[in-house]
Structure 1
Amino acid sequence: MADYLSVSALTQYLKRKFDVDPYLGKVFLTGEISNFRLRPNAHQYFSLKDDNAKINAIMFKSSFQKLKFQPETGMKVLVTGRVSLYERTGEYQIYVDRMEPDGVGQLFEAYEQLKRKLADEGLFSRPKRPLPRFPKRIAVVTSPSGAVIRDIITTVRRRFPIAQIVLFPALVQGQEAAQDITRQIKRANQIGSFDTLIIGRGGGSIEDLWPFNEESVARAIAESQLPVISSVGHETDTTIADLVADVRAATPTAAAELAVPVLSDVLAEILKEQNRLYLATSNLVKNRQNQLNRIRQSYVFQQPQRLYEAYLQRLDTASRHLNQVMTTGVTDLEQRLQLVRQRLLAESPTRLTHDDQARVSRDTDFLNRAIQQSLQTKRQRMERAVQSLDQLSPLKIMGRGFTYTTADDEVMTSIKQLHPGTKIDLHFADGLATATVETVKPHEEE
């Protein structure tokens, strides 16, 4: 027995190896954050991984409070710390002293890319299907051996035991999980006798939850004819399936609570509504009975003649008013008729014709006088114009001894037009004389 070590002794020996190794006292490490859940005012536990390996990490509260950014799952970071062994679990881990971002991890980048793609297609903003209030059959797509189905069955039996739960077993982790989940969602829709569909699994890292971030699962949920409740991971985990589903639940128990009401509450509500309806009906009958009694005691039934007394008085008043209106109307019509008669007499056709004939006679006399006066005025103006023209007549001027000279039928106006020997015609008022120019003597210029 002396050759055998206890687990504690072996673990202590390995831990000492880690602690005294100078290469592990300060390690510079790069990797992708996985399985990170923020714990306010506490130490932070998470994992760092790459394509081939994963290491657990712890960052104490004093170091975490110095960070200037918020770590998130899928974020690629650069960390500095020491590597040691945790004796209780026998796992080695890195104690992180410093951390800074170094880009985004591959899974998280793929998640964001698919999220943007489906958001652009409108899968997240499409109208959400309402959940039936009283479902009869509920389909559940999850692992048959996990705690999810047990929590759902327990909650439904406690709240609404008349609802039937039908399990569609599916892989919820691994390479074939997405295909299996998609197949079971389509199968539940093909059966077509369910009211609600729940898909879910427990918590885990982003790798464990990745089947619910696959595009095939998202499209199967979007194409489902059944309203879908998604319950994947913990409350801090948000998968593509949660965004596409009609309702997201933080836990499987919450999913079951969203799917079914509490039967006792429903029965209590029915009883409450029944009592309310009974009271409302009783009050209505009582009010109608009171109205009937008041009507029976009304004066209309006690003294029926009083019902039409007011109408008789109104009839008499209306009759008097009608007679007064008719009398006034007839008087007005007679006055208007008398005025019309006077106007007709004043505008008699015989009188109008006589006035028109007198007016025509006056206008004729006026027109004749105007014509005569106008003719006399124009005759006098013509005589004065004739006298003026006669004074300006060339013949009148020639009668006083003046002549004008032409040569070849052209009037000579200057001595320069004449030459010795030129034959000219002298025109007198009473005849014509022909002469020959012997000499031409122009006036001397001063």
Structure 2
Amino acid sequence: MIMDAFLNNSLENFSKSVSSSISFSSLEASAMSVSRFVSVTNNALQNFGQAVVIGEISEIKTYSHLYFKLKDETAAVDCLMFASVLNRLSFIPKIGMKVVVVGKSSIYLKTGQFKLIVDKMFVAGAGKIMEELLALKEKLNKEGVFAAIKRPIPKWINKVGIITSKEGHVLHDMLTVLNKRNPGIEVVVYPCQVQGSEAPATIVNALNTAFSDNVCDVLIVGRGGGSFEDLMPFSDETVVRTIINSPMPIISAVGHEPDVALSDFAADMRAPTPTAAADIVSSYTVEMMQKDLDSYALLLGDLIYKKIDDLTVVLEKAEIKLKSFGPESLLNLKSSYLNSLNEKFARLIFDKLAFCKAQNDSFLHRLQAHDPKFKLNSLDLAVNEFEKRIEFTVNDNIAKTAKHIDNLLLLMERAPFHQDMIDADKKIETLKEKLISLNPLLVLKRGYSVTLDKKGSCANINTLKINDELKTLVAGGQVLSVVTGIEKD
């Protein structure tokens, strides 16, 4: 309504301007440029505010941004979604999808083309379903359903179970891939419905049948692409819980690459498409099997040759052991034993003879010690040694006496100096006697005493005080006293 009012006012103003104009030149002077007109129109559209539009996607062009056309039965509008908004979507827009968009109207200045700049997009009618689906995912995640340890897909697969619809091209494509890559894999199909309200129950029944048969090495659960609602059966809680309790590995292959179902989180592996799941289980192709068989054949040959070599060694050891118990071996053993005894007996005889010789030599040495001739020789040696010692002592005493005589003669030659020494000694003795007579200690022996103050000086009556300590020297020791009174003459 705002847009209609804007256009009507513009036309009315234009008509009034034309009718009231004096000349065409004045009309030209008041005309807007194309840029100005597009800018004014764009501003008016911007002021229009956000619009909420529902429609079906009819065209899609994706560069860094998403360009698409939204239409209904009678009209269409070009739309633009910037990459930053596109990356935040929880789904991938597709042709034919009915969506609700929120955005602002805009005109591209260079071309004057009208576009709806989309800020938000939702799948029509899926808002509540999406909220329920996210709530279920959060619930199962908190219970640890999706945290179960994922089992590896076996390399050797003899039988694979496929849980999908028998109708449509999905099953045909999967069988084609399996037969082409590894025709030795046996396929068991457990049919079920893959869309609609009854689909979850049929998927669960097919899974339980496969679990009961327990003949497959791996199961593929999936379907081809479709709308958001078409894929919902594979996000059903009962389907998810049945998958997580599978006794065998399961591959979830629902829709195409961007499609995601809760079964993808519960399964041991997610495949982007059913055909990709068939590629995974048949990854061990006939060519790879032949190559492995050739490798195993070589390995088996090596093991056989090694076993033959080991058995040959065992046989040789057995032959050696058998020979060790034969008559010839026993004779050689006895002969070796006799030779050993002979050598041992010879060593004993040699050791005995050596011991007897040593004893004999000891006896001879002891007899020589008591031989008279040996004793006489010993006495002669002792006499000669004594004579040498006497001769040395006599000669030494003679030398010492001669030296003493020489010293006396020398002293006699120095007699005057000797007399001086005698006179000096006499003077020293005289001085010594005088010093002794002046020694205060000798005075003490005659009955006198000396009193000293605490400084060690002779006590003076004029300097003494009451309680001063005194030391009195007497013959044979000293007396300690304290001044209790002083009397002067």
Normalization by structure 1: what TM-score?
0.48
* Greater helix share, structure number: 2
Find the structure with the greater CA-based Rg.
2
